[in-house]
Amino acid sequence: MNTSLRSPLIYTLFVMPALILFVMFFLYPIGSSLYYSLTSWNGVSAEPRFVGLSNYVKALTDERFWISTRNNGFFIGFSVLIQVPLIVLFSLLIANVKRLKGLYKTAVFLPSIMSTAVIGILWGFIYEPNIGLLNKMLHVLGIDPIYWLSDNRFAMLSILVTNAWQWTGFYIVMVLAAILAIPRDLDEAAAIDGATAVQRAMRITLPLIRPIISVVIMLSIAGAMKAADIVIVMTKGGPAGSTEVLATYMIKYAITNFKYGYGNTIAVLIFALTLVLTAVYQLLVARRGEKVEY
């Protein structure tokens, strides 16, 4: 090897482009948000007014902030406890399909490449109280129509189901790739020994794909904490703020009310909560002797 390539200067030149991008698009925005979170600024005036931690005190004592945090918690709980098991189940079923496997993979992946606006409008028609498909089915069963998106008892659940429908296929493709990468010899040997399909899935497949399941859970947590577009399209945080999430709460203050200082405070809190949740999950995974591989 040419000795000039071992020079620290050469290493620095190779790393510098990535480092510059990291600083510009990661460190600088975080630092900027931290600074503006300590100010009162409307986004127009030249000089933000320093207010210290008062924005954080306001957020932590605001009932709407905690309602939004609770709704993000619903996103996380639904994703981890309901969506992830369904992802694994459907992945196992598709992996064992003998014919048209490519068609099934395309069908489940298709919603994840559709615009959230399109999906929101589509499911808005499904949830429509008078002519929606869901209420038509309930009518056949003799059940009164439900106002899915305007009743605070059902609005959050309706959004969670729609969000899961959009992203389940994306994660299925990830898990399915891990399943198909498992050597078939292991499964065939277990089948010869008399193991049923369920036993093979529980004893062979699931332990081997556990790292990718951990990645799916991590991505689900991060996605739940930044959920905003589906809420904006379907309910705009209503009815009466019952479906407000942290991201829409931040947008309303920063953009609608021109309170960019307070909006940055919410952004910092979202970042901190996401960091804490993912760190805690990684610690739990590490205690079980696993490793989350990206």
Residues ≥6 apart with Cβ < 8 Å to 51:
38, 39, 40, 261
Give the amino acid at 117.
A
pLDDT at 293 (0 to 100)? 54
Contact 18, 29 (CB under 8 A): no
Q: How far is CA 114 from the centre of its chain?
A: 16
Residue 3: per-residue pLDDT: 58
Q: Calculate the alpha carbon distances from 103 to 94, 109, 170 in Å.
A: 10, 10, 15
The pLDDT value recorded for residue 76 is 96
- Please give the pLDDT value at position 268: 95
How many CB atoms lie under 10 A from the CB of residue 239?
Answer: 15
Distance CA 168, CA 178 (A): 16
Mark residue 289 as left, alpha or beta (left: phi above 0; alpha: psi -120 to 50; beta: remaining).
Answer: left
User: What DSSP element (H or E) covers 183?
Assistant: none
Closest CA to 78 of 191, 173, 165: 165
Is the sign of the CA dihedral 171, 173, 175, 178 positive or negative?
negative
Q: Is 215 in contact with 174 (CB distance < 8 Å)?
A: yes
pLDDT reported for residue 289: 67
Measure CA 196 to chain center.
34
Q: Give the model's pLDDT for residue 4.
A: 58
What's the pLDDT at 6? 66
Q: Would you state the pLDDT for residue 198? A: 86
Task: Specify the pLDDT at position 42.
Answer: 85
Model's pTM, two decimal places? 0.88
pLDDT string in tens for the chain (294-residue length): 555 556 777 778 888 889 999 999 989 999 999 999 999 988 787 788 899 999 999 999 999 999 999 999 999 999 999 999 999 999 999 988 888 878 888 888 999 999 999 999 999 999 999 889 999 999 899 999 999 999 999 999 999 999 999 999 999 999 999 999 988 888 888 888 888 888 888 888 999 999 999 999 999 999 999 899 999 999 999 898 899 999 999 999 888 888 999 999 999 999 999 999 999 998 888 887 665 554
Question: DSSP state, 151?
Answer: S
Extents of the domains making up the chain: 62-287
Phi, psi at 116, each rounded to 5°: -60, -35
CATH superfamily of 62-287: MetI-like (1.10.3720.10)
The pLDDT of residue 184 = 85
Cα gap 251→242, rounded to integer Å:
16
Fill in the DSSP letter of residue 4.
G
